[in-house]
Structure 1
Amino acid sequence: MSLTLDTYRLLGRSGLRVSPLALGAATFGTESGWGSERAESRKVFDLYVERGGNFIDTADTYSAGSSERLLAEFTRQNRDSLVLATKYTTLSRPGDPNSSGSHRKNLFSSVEGSLRRLGTDYLDVLYLHVWDFTTPVEEILRGMDDLVRQGKVLYVAISNSPAWQIARMQTMADLRGWSPLVALQLEYSLIERTGERELIPMAREMGLGVLPYSPLAGGVLTGKYTRDDLTPANIDPADGTRKSFNVALGTVTERNLAIADVVQEVATELGHSPAQVALAWTLRTPGITAPLLGARTPAQLEDNLGALDVDLTDAQLTRLNEASAIDLGIPHSLLASDHIRNVMRGDLKFETRG
């Protein structure tokens, strides 16, 4: 069944309505060595909004702040119709120890900076971007709640953090009447499924919408890489391209290319692009609210939006799942074993609901 960008979904345990595909604006600006100039970024933004999309994702340090500054210009006429999400915690001023981290000083400074760059009075969603392992959770939650009470932030969320810390924060927020987390952002794709061990089940149980970033694994699932790219000597790590970045990260492996091969096979069967198939798999995974699209050009975005029209069969889903399957590890593999089922249930039969 086809979806559309204006077939909205609720963001976690909130009443906020968001599109089923979010537009990631990390590619807006070229200060990071890759990305899109202003004119191209504007075309990408306009195409997304014209199709009914309303969910825009950025961060305070994307393209050294250019991403937020460009969005200020692009959203000037329709700010209140859009859901703008940004993030804090990454280093903004090298040499300044308090210009990074989750603590209250950086939280308030980062939000004020984002408000200025975005040209808005409020942020729809604010993420803690990266867990810092030093700031007490009470300090984070109280600071976020203060910003919500001031009206500068409407909803708070989290990214790149341990599942047990997120669960702890959500429980504390509920008990103390502080603003709860409504969303979790994590890397998730056919190539990176380890979030299925703890993060995604935790999010579903604790009321957080799940927003996968890098759903195409940096382009590996689009079919642009070959076995030649397995040899680092063929890639210049200093050329500043996304390809060299992915090779340096170790994303281009035999396993990942084998998964990409299955994606290509399914795409050929359906008459869709590999990117559309990979996104459709993520989009239709239980618990997923909205994958983030990081298109650099209107043509890339147009292709990505075609994922809304992909109808994967049960057999195709099984092939994709089996090709990319991971070991869930302890305790999950133990709890799913026949031995544990036998000692826990014996011959008893249960019907589960919901």
Structure 2
Amino acid sequence: MKLKNRFLSRRKALEHIAVGCVAMGIPKLVFSQTTQMMKRVIPSSGKTIGVVGLGTWQTFDVGNSSSAREPLKGVLRALVEGGGSVIDSSPMYGSSEKVVGDLSDELGIKNDLFYATKVWTTGKQSGINQMNASMHKMKANPMDLMQIHNLQDWKTHIKTLYDWKDRGLIRHIGITHYVNSAHDDLERIIKSEKIDFVQVNYSIIDRNAEKSLLPVAKDQGVAVLTNRPYAGGSLFRKTSGQQLPEWADEFDCKSWGQFFLKYLLANDAVTCVIPGTSKEKHMIDNMAAGYGRLPNENHKKKMVNFIN
């Protein structure tokens, strides 16, 4: 079946998202400013991507189980139908790369995705072997984004990545980490090397990246992916049983998930947030954060104070 028959038009997709949210008890979405997901530019290439993507840590590590893979098809459909494209994986994530490759191929959405993965090993040849394996598993050649996972042996791998980008094997180069103590290193590297992306931990209760790393990335023309946007799920535990403040309507926010993601997207240094999920309803809700208005500076202060 052709892609146009498998997937909804943008208008129908928005209707599908809204109806789906109502059916699941999520208030109807408010698209006050736009009927398309916000997109932001990758400074080094000029390519635009939707501001909400998908992480695959743990959630896509399901092996060959057809019953476990089936719900993930709905997650991928929601990503594409909602206007997103970025899907981030790693050899560290078990079978996630292969699951992403198999399902995106089966669904016929390969051309709609922006594939991102990582090199997570030591040594030049080991890195080459691992990256070739990742591209094979994800069925992505060229790979849209190859990142050095947690800066492991980065001085070795960066040379290979420069060569691969020159040869057209990858389109963008990135570096990643998930702890605040690595932010200074990330900052130094994006100042000294030709980096297209930095992926960093950032949430409404973990705002260390705001101090220097995000402004430097913006100044250097480096795109930003944010991991751990829900602080490992602790934000949902923190707000369990709490009602959204009424003023959240001022930036078209209808759920706590949207509240947390819209805070990050209100920083224009952030290119795309990549929360992970294995549930279609959560993916639909995540995608809604990329629609409508974003918090202003006054809202952001109120959001932080409210959560604190």
Q: Scaled by the length of structure 2, what TM-score is found? A: 0.75
Residue 167 (structure 1) shift: 4.4
Select the residue among 8, 12, 23 that pairs with 2:54.
Answer: 23
Matched residue of 2:272: which SS?
Answer: coil
Q: Which residue of 1 aligns with 2:134?
A: 114
Aligned mates of 1:143, 1:41 — CA distance in 2: 33
Give the drift of 1:168.
4.2
What amino acid maps onto 1:301 in structure 2?
M
Partner Cα separation in structure 2 for residue 283 and residue 58 of structure 1? 21
- Is residue 2:250 matched to residue 1:219? no
Question: Which of 161, 183, 187 is equivalent to 1:144?
Answer: 161
- Provide the secondary structure at the position in 1 that maps to 2:60: coil
The 3 A distance-change label for structure 1 pair 263 and 210 is farther
The alpha-carbon deviation at position 185 of structure 1 amounts to 0.8
Name 2:177's counterpart in structure 1.
160
**Per-residue deviation at 1:136?**
6.6
Q: Is the 8 A contact 1:213 1:291 kept in 2?
A: yes
1:183 pairs, out of 197, 207, 229, with: 197
> Does the CA contact (< 8 Å) of 1:266 and 1:277 recur in 2?
no
Give the letter for the 2:169 counterpart. Answer: K
Point out the more displaced range, 11-20 or 274-283.
11-20
Is residue 22–residue 293 contact of structure 1 (8 Å, CA) maintained in 2? yes
Match of 1:75, SS?
A: helix
Runs of 5+ unmatched residues, structure 2: 1-31
Equivalent AA in structure 2 for residue 72 of structure 1 = G
Query: CA 1:300–1:140 in 2, change beyond 3 Å: closer, same or farther?
Result: same
Q: Secondary structure of 2:61's partner?
A: coil
1:166–1:324 distance in 2 versus 1, CA, 3 Å: same
Which residue in the other structure is 1:331 paired with?
none
Distance 1:265 1:37, change over 3 A: same
Q: Does 1:41 align with 2:72?
A: yes
Please tell me whether Structure 1 or Structure 2 has the larger radius of gyration of its CA atoms: 1
Q: What's the counterpart of residue 24 of structure 2?
A: none
Q: Distance in 2 between matches of 1:221 and 1:167?
A: 27
Tell me: higher relative CO, structure 1 or 2? Use CA pairs within 8 A at least 6 residues apart.
Answer: 2
Q: Residues 185 and 212 of structure 1 are in contact (CA less than 8 Å); yes or no, is this contact kept in structure 2?
A: yes
How many aligned positions are there?
Answer: 264
5+ residue gaps, structure 1, are: 90-99, 174-179, 226-256, 326-354
The AA in structure 1 aligned to 2:255 is: S
Partners of 1:267 and 1:131 lie apart in 2 by 42
Q: Does 1:87 align with 2:118?
A: yes
Q: Given residue 158 of structure 2, which amino acid in structure 1 is its aligned partner?
A: L
Distance of aligned partners of 1:200 and 1:107 in 2 relative to their CA distance in 1, 3 Å threshold: same
Match of 2:90 in 1: 59
**CA deviation string 1:289-327 (max 9, x = no partner):** 1111212201111222222346546543221234568xx
> C-alpha distance in 2, partners of 1:25/1:136?
22
* Aligned Cα root-mean-square deviation (Å): 2.8
* CA contact 2:265–2:294 (8 Å) conserved in 1: no
8 Å contact from structure 2 (residues 266, 296) kept in 1: no
Aligned-partner SS, 1:293: coil
Whether the aligned pair in 2 keeps the contact of 1:40 and 1:297 (CA below 8 Å) is yes
Aligned to 2:10: none
Q: Which amino acid aligns with 1:142?
A: K
Distance 1:181 1:286 in 2: 18
Q: Give the Cα separation in 2 of the matches to 1:2 and 1:262.
A: 30
For residue 121 of structure 1, report the CA deviation from its aligned partner.
2.2
- Residue deviations 1:144-166 (CA, integer Å, cap 9, x gap): 11111232211100111834444
- Post-superposition shift, 1:4? 5.9
Structure 1 match to 2:299: 316
Find the aligned partners of 1:3 and 1:129 in 2 and give their Cα distance: 35
Which amino acid in 2 is paired with 1:158? I
Matching residue's letter, 2:166: R
Secondary structure of 2:173's aligned partner: strand
Q: Conserved in 2, the CA contact under 8 Å of 1:57 and 1:85?
A: yes
Q: Deviations over 1:37-63 (max 9, x none)?
A: 20011110011112222211111221x
Residue 286 (structure 1) aligned with residue 303 (structure 2):
no
Kindly provide the amino acid, as one letter, of the partner of residue 302 in structure 1. Answer: I
